[in-house]
Structure formats: C-alpha cells, structure tokens
Amino acid sequence: MRSPEFVSSLYELGRPLDASKYFLIFIDNVGHGGSSKPSDGLHAKFPHYGYRDMVDLQHLIVTETLGIRRLHAILGVSMGGMNAWTWAEQYPNAVQGVMPVAALPASISGRNLIWRRIVARSIRTDPAWQDGEYRQPPRGWLEAFPLFRMMLDGVPHLDATVKDRASADEFIQAAVDQAREQDANDALYSLESSGDYDPGPALSKVRAKVFALNFSDDEFNPVSLHTLEAVIPGVPGASFLIQSGDGTTFGHLTMRHPALWAKHVAAFLKSIEER
C-alpha cells in the first residue's frame, strides 16, 4: 500500500488521497505484516482469528489508540475490501464512505473456497509441516502456491504472457521462489481467516456511502456470478463498477496497480464530499 506506484497514483500532491489533505491510516492486520502472527514464535499454537476479529482490532486502533470517532472513508483492496464491507455493517455509524476494491459482499464459496482448501490441505497434510513446527518451507506449500498465484492473475493476461512450456515453467518457478519468502503457517492462518466472512445477512445495516470496484478478469470474484448486480440494489446508498480487463491488466492483481483505477477513487471521494 506504500509502494512507489501507490504513492504516485494515490497519495502525492493533487492525487485522490493527497497526503497533504487527508490523514491516512495504514493498519497491518493481525496475522500480517508487523502485527502479531504465527511466525513470531507460536506457530500453529497461535490463536485462530477471523475477518471480524481483524475489523474489531482496526476499530479499536482507530477509536481508542488514535481517538477518531468517525472515519471519512475506507479504501480496501482484496482482503481489505472484505474488511471494508465488514466495517460498513459492523460499525455503520463509524465511517462515512467505503470503497471495496476486488472484493464481493458474499461469503467465500465455489472455486474461491475450493482453491483455499486445496492450499490449506497441501500444507497440513505435508509430513514436513510437523504440526506447524517445520524448519524448512513444507513442500506442499511450495507446490500449491503456483495454483494460488495463477488464480490471482487474469485469464487474458496469462494467455498473452504464457505462450509455451518454457514460460509456464518460468511462471511456476517464480511462484515457488515467492512462496519460499512467505511463512506457511502465516499463509495458512490468513487463508482460513476468511471462514467467518459473510456480510450478506447484515447489508441492510449499512449506512455509509458504498462504491464497489471489481475487475472483469478477476477469477477470484467472477463477474459471471453477477453478485454485485444482485446485492447492490439492496444496500442503501451503494453503487458499483466492473472495470474491463484485457491482456494488459492483471486479474485480481489489478488491485496492485492503482494507476489503472485511481480515477475511480477520486470520483468516489468527490461523491462523499458532495453528499
């Protein structure tokens, strides 16, 4: 979120989230970044957490540590987008607007759930995992991650960039190398933390202005399910946009390239301030 592309696209002077105008809060969720996580030492004895726990902790940091009673807006991408949906219903009076990017207001199901279970199973059933006390990355994690990485990318982008066996093998090896840099227990906990995510039943509680942005080539959140079309009309003050993807975009990972969607952030903030 503080990479050069995010800074130049969103936070610099005159950009949608101009840091000279807005007080920007970046929170490492429990289980991620610099926050407490299994790899700190407890490994598989670390307490299991869910998305609602994440949002509760975010709310405590904002209200008790920072002393902010009401947020102007929340912008969340992927898991952060699901956190944004949860904020909107769990603390309906604590935020004026939310913009979930590359996330759906529905429980994890179908292919999205199956691949998560495949990756989790690949870690847990690997003898090298040793109930979370491994000394080297379990092979099951290394072999499953390329599937994870493939699901993150866009079908048109992969078709345009992976043209033969050699480029496919390069993609797989790059994914394995990436997996080696991540802790398997941290990944396992993160994947399973989505188990309590189900904003559907409480969406009528939402009071914030909502603008949901998804991408047509996002295989995590398939547009063929028409989830946003079905749900958004029942959410007060909500709207959505499905941005078209092609061979030059990145599927779910388009969320990592804000230069491709920053203009929608600007429009969203303008709509809040005109409300």
- Out of 158, 192, 226, a domain closes at 192
- Burial class (CB within 10 angstroms; exposed 0-12, middle 13-18, buried 19+) of 218: buried
CATH number at residue 157: 1.10.1740.110
Please give the Cα distance from 263 to 174 (Å, whole number): 32
Whether residue 56 is found in the same domain as residue 180 = no
89 with 72, same domain: the answer is yes
Answer whether 244's CB lies under 8 Å from 214's CB.
no
Half-sphere exposure of 151 (CA within 13 A, CB side): 16
Q: What is the mean pLDDT of the chain?
A: 96
pLDDT digits (tens, 9 = 90+) for 92-138: 999 999 999 999 999 999 999 999 999 999 999 999 999 999 999 99
Helix spans in the chain (H): 4-6, 51-60, 79-90, 110-124, 139-152, 155-161, 165-180, 184-192, 227-231, 262-273
- Same-domain status, 206 and 129: no
Say what the pLDDT of residue 47 is: 97
Separation between Cα atoms, residue 1 and residue 5, nearest integer Å: 9
The amino acid that residue 248 corresponds to is T
Boundary-marking domain end, from 139, 164, 192: 192
Q: What is the structure's pLDDT at 123?
A: 97
Do 94 and 218 lie in one domain? The reply is yes
Average pLDDT over residues 165-187: 97
Distance CA 141, CA 14 (A): 43
Based on the domain organization, do 28 and 93 belong to the same domain?
A: yes
- Find how far residue 239's CA is from the centre of its chain: 19
The CATH number for 92's domain is 3.40.50.1820
Same domain, 160 and 244: no
If one counts the domains in the chain, the total is 2
Q: Which of helix, strand or coil describes residue 79?
A: helix
The reported pLDDT for the residue numbered 273 is 86
Cα–Cα distance measured from residue 110 to residue 98, given in angstroms and rounded to the nearest whole number: 26
The reply to whether 19 and 94 lie within a common domain is yes
Q: Are residues 101 and 204 in the same domain?
A: yes
User: How is residue 130 written in tokens?
Assistant: 């040793």
Residue 275: band (very low, low, confident or very high) from pLDDT cuts 50, 70, 90: low
Q: Which of 192, 217, 248 is the last residue of a domain?
A: 192
| In a shared domain, residues 224 and 250 | yes
- Count each helix (H run) and each strand (E run) in the chain, helices first: 10, 4
Domain boundaries, position 36: 4-107+198-273
Q: Is the pLDDT of residue 200 over 80?
A: yes
With a pLDDT cut of 70, the percent of the chain lying above it is 100
| For residues 229-247, average pLDDT | 94
Q: Are residues 153 and 230 in the same domain?
A: no
